[in-house]
Structure formats: structure tokens, C-alpha cells
Structure 1
């Protein structure tokens, strides 16, 4: 039976095959970019961005389940061998049974982060988690982290404007600084040791977050931890260049603009539009 991968040992099962990645928008690109920066080879990535429905964080669970199911079905029909959930909101609402019965390996961004911290942390730590409203409400990070002996206190804070801001390309500047200050002011006052970026969109705001909180607070980026585990499990004997296929439910041209702002090398691969019908997601023929 396939299982939810949550450790480096489990990720070692990965081989040179098609790997799916999905997110509500460009957040999952932080995972993909981390993988590309590690100069991996011999992998085909299928990236699905549900840009027609971003942001996910404030939407009802039942509605999100429908969106996520369509994406998972699309990736499985695309013959992927593994699916990387690069969306903390999606990861937080999917049950263990749903993850374990996909028929392909499911790789959890939340489990990856918690697994990394369980080996990384020393002493007693005060940790804060920022994420979408759904991620914070579901408290998956909190429930997993409080089981670690290295954790003293865990705080949570929802930052609902962060994802729309990132999707609009607002990553730095006066407006971003004001919004970061609005959400993180009480966290700074608590006196934390570490801050977990519990949404893959948030690394785009890392500079503004660090500027506000100060350099003494460690910023934990689950996107980087997830990419590190995946890279360690890939078949490095295959030296063929990676290939990427992007599929978006929204405007492909807008997605291309976002990619160009992140890294123009990401534009070397095709972006196709997928649409929803009564069978799920289908590739637009236009």
C-alpha cells in the first residue's frame, strides 16, 4: 500500500519518473525553484497551479476538496509516480486515508517540515507558525510540533492577505512592510526563537519578514526542507535534463509573467491551460 512520505528514508523510494507538484498558485514554485537550484537531473515535473481559485486559505473545506480532488485525478491520469503537495492548506485538509489511497506516493509539505525540525532542533524552542486561515484553523503543524520534546511553546497566526499580495507580485515595498507589520507585530512581541513559513507563498515575503522580525529569529522554510528531502531521494545516475510541464486553471499569460519575475529560466517550459468539465480537469485545446 502506498503511504504518505514524511521522512528522508521514505523519499529515497523515488526514482526517475514523472513527479507531480500542485499548489493553489505560484507558491509551489518555491519548491520547484529549490529543486532546480540543486541541479537535479533525470526528472519530469508536472506542475499544476489552480490560479482560477487562488487563494485557497479562506474558502470552505468542501469547496477546496473538490478543487484538490480534480488536481489529484489530473496528475494521476498524467502518469506521475509521486505527488508533491506544495500547498499547506491542501495538505492540512486532506485526511491520511485520502493521502494513502491515491495509488501513488503522496509527499507532504507539512510532514517534511516537522520531520526536518525534529532532527534539527536543540534545547527548548518557542516557535510561531504563520499560514492561511485554513492551515491555522486545522492546527496540523501545532498538533505535530507539540509532540516534539524540543518544543516549549507553539503559537499560530493566520495572515490571509499574504497570498493575494504575493499573487499580485507585491513582494517588497512600503505596502508589504505595513501588512507584514500588521500581522507579525504580536509575534515579535512574544519573543519567539523560530518562525515557520506555513505557506509556500510566504518565502517571497521573506526579506520583508526578516527586516521586521530581526535577524536573530530563525526562519524555517518548509519549501526548502521539502526540496532537500526530495533531491536526496532522486536517482542521480540519470543525467538527462529535467523537463517541466505547467498547467494552470487561470490565465497562462499572467502565470508566465509571475514566472519571469521569479526566474526567467522557469519560462523555458510550456504553460498550458486546463479547464474543468464533468469529468474533472482537461487540457484546453486552444
Structure 2
């Protein structure tokens, strides 16, 4: 039986598109409905309870669009809201932290794993706990990189400024001996070439968002809710609480969709205050 309902994806901004890009590639028959809460980013410095409130607002908006699965395509929101959303929603809810942790453990040969993320994700210790639970011998080196999200959201992720900021931000990881580095924010894969250049070719980068789509694919099959139709009936929808034009500029480039269109929405109470 073909379930043609959309999969809902939500993030604080454009970062979640790194997850969507993998979903479009791996699950071409599935319809994507995406929300980026650009009006209130960054989520990283915000209190956990506030991030949970924002996450529920996005989730409820997507639920009204009759989604069949919810993907929290944001590490900060996953750390703050995943347990609550899973407990209270009737549809499957998938976060990005567990898949990224599993992939890092699998990739690391010396058990020295770095994690870069927002302040909120690092403060939550979600990655450290997930990794240590599965591999007690691991050493986890966590580093908050608060300047990375603004670089991406301002479409500066290929600039010389970005190159300098990435080099300066990652300096504390020098000498740690890590052989694996988790990109613990879905915005960070857009900076991947710069990050790889700084940490060197011997360090494996883990894209937590991309790993998440493997889990989405498994759950669709396991729960028998995949779209098995020969074609995709409903169009993808992309919505932002910020500027639809600014969102589309980055999204069309990252998703390689020249005719990309986004819609502005109001969730209520959006502000950067």
C-alpha cells in the first residue's frame, strides 16, 4: 500500500536542507514538507525550554499538514525536544544525534572522536552521552562553534571570511589526536570543504543529517508507510519564518534546483529578541 503523505522536516534555518538533500537523493518517491525557523535563529544560545517550545510550534504546524513522519533536522532541537515529541506524538519522530553518534563510533579506529556543534547541543552533552553509552572506551572532544551558523545563513559559507572563521574556531582541536569529527549541526556540512581542509585528510567527517536519512528509510519500510507508487504525486513544500527570497537563494544552490521556491509562514511570536 502506498502512503503518499509527506515526511515533515524542521530546523532553525537552512541547515536542515542538508538532511533534505540526502532524503531527495535516497528517497525520491517521498514528498518533503520543510520548515526553517529563520526568524528566531540561532537556536544554539537559547535556553533548552525555549527551543522545546519553538520545536513544538513547528511540529504542530507540520502535523496540520498531515505528515506521516517527523524528522527533527536540527541537533539543538533534537537535544531539547526529541524525548518529549516522541512521547506525545502518534507518528514516528526521528532526531539527528543518535545516527551521527553511531556513524562516528563505526568510523573511528582510535576511539578519539571530536564533536562540533552549537552551544546548546554541546551544553546538553547529548553527543558525549550517546557516544559513551555505545563505546565506553571513547574519548570525546566537544567544541562549540557559534560563528558557523551565521556564516551559512548569511550565504557567506564559501567566502574568505568563512575560511578564516573556520580555521580559528577549530584551533582547540589541534593536538587532540581525533580521527573522526562529527558535524553536530545540520548547517555545518555546507562548510565541509573548509572544515576538512583545517582538520586534514586523515580525519573522517560525519554528517549527522545524512546518516539520519538511513534511519528514515529503515523506519518507512519497517512501519510499512513508504510511498511505493511509481511516481511522487504531491510536490515538495519549503516554508520559512524568515525571508523566503533569502532562503531560496541558499536552497536553490545547495539543492541544485534553479527554480526552487519557498513560502513565508508565521508560527506566532517569531522574533530575534
What TM-score comes out, normalization by structure 1 length? 0.85
For residues 144 and 211 of structure 1, do their structure 2 counterparts lie closer, same or farther at Cα, with a shift above 3 Å needed? same
What is the Cα deviation at residue 123 of structure 1?
4.6
CA distance in 1, matches of 2:216, 2:16: 14
For residues 265 and 188 of structure 1, do their structure 2 counterparts lie closer, same or farther at Cα, with a shift above 3 Å needed? same
Report the RMSD for the aligned CA atoms in angstroms: 2.2
CA distance in 2, matches of 1:171, 1:73: 31
CA distance in 2, matches of 1:164, 1:197: 16
Q: What are the residue-to-residue correspondences of 1:82-161 with 2, within 5 Å? A: 82-94=69-81, 96-118=83-105, 120-121=106-107, 123-149=109-135, 151-161=137-147
* Structure 2 equivalent of residue 44 of structure 1: 31
* Structure 1 equivalent of residue 53 of structure 2: 66
Unaligned runs of 5+ in 2: 221-225
* Structure 2 equivalent of residue 202 of structure 1: 188
Q: Does residue 1:176 correspond to 2:151, yes or no?
A: no
Q: What are the residue-to-residue correspondences of 1:216-255 with 2, within 5 Å? A: 216-234=202-220, 235=226, 237-241=228-232, 243-255=235-247
CA distance in 1, matches of 2:267, 2:164: 37
| SS at 2:209 equivalent | helix
After superposition, give the CA deviation of every residue in 1:210-244 in whole Å (9 maximum; x if it has no partner): 11111000101111111233234543632213631
Unaligned runs of 5+ in 1: 1-13, 281-286
After superposition, give the CA deviation of every residue in 1:189-215 in whole Å (9 maximum; x if it has no partner): 211110000000000000001111110
| SS at 1:166 equivalent | helix
- Flag the structure with higher strand content: 1
Aligned residues: 263
What TM-score comes out, normalization by structure 2 length? 0.88
CA distance in 2, matches of 1:45, 1:51: 18
